[in-house]
Structure 1
Amino acid sequence: MNTLNNVTVLGGGVLGAQIAYQAAFHGKNVTVYDINDEALEAARERFNKLVSVYVEAMPDAEEGQAAKAAESISLSSDLAEAVVDADLVIEAVPEILDLKKKVFSDLAKVAPEKTIFATNSSTMVPSQYAAEAGRPDRFLALHFANNIWVQNVAEVMGTERTSNEAYDAVVAYAEETGMDPILVKKEQPGYVLNSLLVPLLNAASALYVNGVADVETIDHTWRKGTGAQSGPFQMYDVIGLRTAYNVSSASDNPSSIKFAEILKTEFLDKGKFGVASGEGFYKY
């Protein structure tokens, strides 16, 4: 399979913008699709903010490389236009199953035959919407972590029907874009990273909603006891509280449901989305 040079990212939110910018920074031809001009303008603002982040984080980069990456990214609210010559499409829409099914169903109608489809879902496995994608041999998961320029893991997970050729091409793409590919051998909800991380976050939220300890104490305990740089609620802020809400509200665990209610009333309804908005459990 040829090198995956033309990349379309579906969704210009916090992580979608990072995925797109990371690819552009490493020389890929990148288009970002989102539902309207307002969403695309927000994505453009995210690219511009990432310029200074990359300049600071990557001092050995070529002069002007960071700015050129932001300028090179194309934006479109027309799905067919956005994927017209895509080698790879990376879906980065909210963690809502019906939404992902619709996105891939719409995508399958307009994408070229050559295009590999990848989902960036952090909680779902690709076989949950493989039927909608319509190309089982060229459909898999490619999961990124937030703060992609530092936490540069890219988990590659296929289904039983993903071809070796498509899988290897996506692994190569990850390497070409500065990522450390994590080869997941079989479908696993949460992949490797979130299979380790989610139990920690769930335990922290349960301690919080049940009044065992406050946010600062929980985070302090984790940092001191393990030597970690961040506590679980600092991680929640980086991940984004909208994502935390979507995941928690879909759970049947009473503590998770209570946590989702708190996230909505005390944070989301007040415009506190985490690091992206400047405030979540902490102020930034």
Structure 2
Amino acid sequence: MNIRKLDPSASPLDYYGYELRRAREAAGLTLAQLGSIVFCTGSLIGQIETAAKVPQREFSERVDAALGTDGLFSRLVGLVLRSQLPSWFQPYAEMEAKAAYISTHQAQLVYGLLQTKAYARAVLGIRDDGNLDGKVAARLDRQRILDRDQPPVAWVVLSEAALHQEVGGREVMREQLTYLLDTQKRTWLDIQVLPFEAGAHTGLMGSFNLLRFEKDPDIVYTEDFVQGHMTANPQAFKEGSVRYDHLQAAALSVDDSAALIARVMEERYGNDPEPDGHSVA
């Protein structure tokens, strides 16, 4: 059998595959045997060992338990998933994970840290250049910061347009808006909707994020269609903060925002059949 040789220094994904093969062989297990223990196929194990497939966090936890590797793969998978993000985005993701306060204005789409798997897949698949599974897994893994014992305080100003922009179909949107309503129950997370009736506002130029830290300088982050831009320039952060204050003032209250999300969910993505005849609910 021709087994592909990996260079463990080539990438985090190659290193993960190299270590997985080494640990499996040290345990005297075949691909199929390890697969049966961690509830997947031997083929999937082989694809991960040859860096053809991106491992998931749950898979890594099962492998650690099966091979007694003391959390090795659970630690490595974070590096692997981070490497699936665009290279220009990785520095921002690192700072995002350290932030004590996150304020974001989203002009068209649901905020990435609040996207469901199906919604994220639809967004990231618009111009899919391969490895969509890895990109989706990386985005969902970023969301783990919201489940920490001490998560960042997060405030989201979401344009009403994001509620109406149908991404992935009505069923996907209904699931997404339901998730937004569920997240409103978290005491450290608030969502305000900026209604169409607000007219001209300070966020018309597009989405932006403000990150504040306990020790590091505050950061403002913006994106264009090519890449992101992150700066700790105090004047830029001051300008972003003023714009954000005006957006919050123009947006609906948290309770009224939840009511609008629920109304759009029922009226636009309710129980009417999809074009193929299947009910959405």
TM beyond 0.5 = no
TM-score, scaled relative to structure 1: 0.25
TM-score of the pair, normalised by structure 2: 0.26
Larger Rg: 2
The structure whose RCO (Cα within 8 Å, separation 6+) is larger is 2
